[in-house]
């Protein structure tokens, strides 16, 4: 980056270049083992084709806000956060049996074509996708370790990787355990915190800060900023998932309802619904054949009880909390400006 001015498009291009080169090399090594692995290698490449690179950006500014200069090696280390995300997406789509991501077939759906209508092709494709996700997580660690940063810097951050993995998996497990249970806002917010908020904002910031040698006060400030902002990110995602345009989100509107997932939006709807509305929700949630009429009916219940407005209020409160914590941090003007801009990007989610 030529200057301290935050240029998201330029940063994204740098991260994209790192990911494209690194994953292409790994995909080639995979197909050298056997050409039959070509579809699996193709899903590795496809997994990093899209994204705003927010997690890499937070890692980068965790480093810069601690007083370190721009560094190509740091950008490589930050890009590893996107491979963590790619792994999480492949696994999450498989667990939820989601058909689309970014408007294209998800990994487990795309890999069915490699099985030539064999018996149990869907299950086999799911197994292949699971292994693609596992490999992506392994590659994240490899890219981080070979980023070019000094070994002493990497050693400072390495313990945070086990924390990241533990919390991410805990969140995913909690979502599975609570799917289909009576909706509860507090439990839904806990799922959000561990499944998404921490690895999207807080942990990348902390890893960037650890690489840079950030002190305890700065690290505490990163968490105070990162946790509420990460929660706002997922709350916005829940709203967009149900009320946004599939052309923009790249996902089907009814996914969360068909899966009866423990979103805060659904929990707030349930909390405010009357007896008849709850009866109606029970007949619709979790149905795999949920059509447009049923989707419209659930949306109408949500609007009647003003659940979207309450989730919007949750987002606003969390963004304000994050920006308040940022204001208390003693960081440079460029770092403060970049983290403020990132907060808006995360909470508004412009396409």
pLDDT score, position 154: 98
pLDDT score, position 201: 98
203: tokens are: 């942990």
Q: Which residues contact 3 (CB under 8 A, 6 or more apart)?
A: none
CA 227 – CA 154 distance, rounded (Å): 23
Domain 8-348 has CATH 2.40.30.270: no
Counting every residue written for the chain, the total comes to: 351
pLDDT score, position 1: 45
pLDDT score, position 289: 85
pLDDT score, position 350: 53
CA 94 – CA 101 distance, rounded (Å): 11
CA 335 – CA 55 distance, rounded (Å): 15
Q: Hey, where are the domains in the chain?
A: 8-348
Whole-number Cα distances in Å, 126 to 31, 88, 114: 20, 14, 12
Ordered mean pLDDT values, 10 residues apiece, the chain (351 residues): 78 98 98 97 96 97 97 98 97 91 91 86 95 98 98 97 96 95 96 96 98 97 98 95 79 81 96 96 89 91 97 97 97 96 84 40
Residue among 284, 229, 281, 258 at smallest CA distance from 57? 229
pLDDT score, position 249: 66
Burial 308-343 (b: 16+ CB within 10 A, else e): bebbeebbeebbebbbebbeebebeeebbebbeebb
Kindly report the pTM of this predicted structure. 0.94
pLDDT score, position 343: 96
Q: Is 76 exposed, middle or buried (0-12, 13-18, 19+ CB in 10 A)?
A: buried
CB atoms under 10 Å from CB of 166, counted, come to 12
- CA max distance for the chain: 62
Residue among 325, 341, 344 at smallest CA distance from 223? 325
């Amino acid at each position: 980056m030529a200057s301290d001015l935050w240029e998201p498009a330029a940063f994204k291009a740098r991260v994209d270049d790192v990911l494209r080169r690194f994953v292409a090399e790994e995909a080639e090594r995979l197909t050298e083992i056997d050409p039959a692995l070509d579809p699996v290698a193709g899903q590795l490449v496809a997994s990093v084709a899209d994204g705003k690179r927010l997690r890499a950006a937070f890692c980068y500014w965790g480093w810069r806000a601690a007083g370190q200069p721009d560094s190509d090696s740091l950008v490589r280390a930050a890009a590893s956060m996107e491979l963590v995300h790619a792994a999480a997406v492949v696994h999450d789509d498989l667990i939820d049996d989601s058909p689309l991501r970014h408007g294209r077939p998800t990994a487990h759906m795309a890999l069915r074509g490699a099985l030539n209508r064999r018996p149990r092709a869907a299950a086999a494709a799911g197994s292949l996708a699971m292994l693609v996700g596992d490999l992506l997580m392994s590659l994240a660690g490899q890219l981080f370790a070979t980023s070019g940063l000094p070994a002493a810097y990497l050693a400072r951050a390495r313990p945070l990787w086990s924390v990241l993995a533990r919390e991410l998996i805990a969140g995913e497990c909690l979502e599975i355990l609570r799917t289909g249970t009576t909706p509860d806002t507090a439990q839904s917010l806990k799922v959000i915190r561990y499944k998404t908020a921490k690895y999207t904002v807080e942990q990348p910031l902390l890893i960037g800060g650890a690489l840079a040698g950030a002190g305890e006060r700065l690290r505490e400030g990163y968490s105070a900023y990162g946790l509420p902002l990460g929660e706002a990110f997922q709350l916005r995602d829940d709203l967009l998932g149900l009320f946004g345009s599939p052309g923009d989100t790249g996902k089907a509107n009814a996914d969360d309802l068909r899966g009866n997932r423990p979103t805060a939006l659904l929990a707030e709807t349930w909390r405010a619904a009357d007896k008849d509305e709850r009866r109606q929700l029970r007949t619709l949630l979790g149905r795999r054949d949920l059509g447009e009429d049923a989707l419209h009916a659930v949306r109408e219940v949500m609007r009647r009880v003003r659940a979207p407005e309450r989730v919007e209020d949750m987002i606003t409160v969390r963004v304000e909390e994050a920006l308040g914590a940022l204001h208390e941090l003693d960081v440079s003007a460029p770092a403060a400006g970049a983290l403020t801009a990132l907060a808006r990007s995360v909470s508004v989610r412009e396409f």
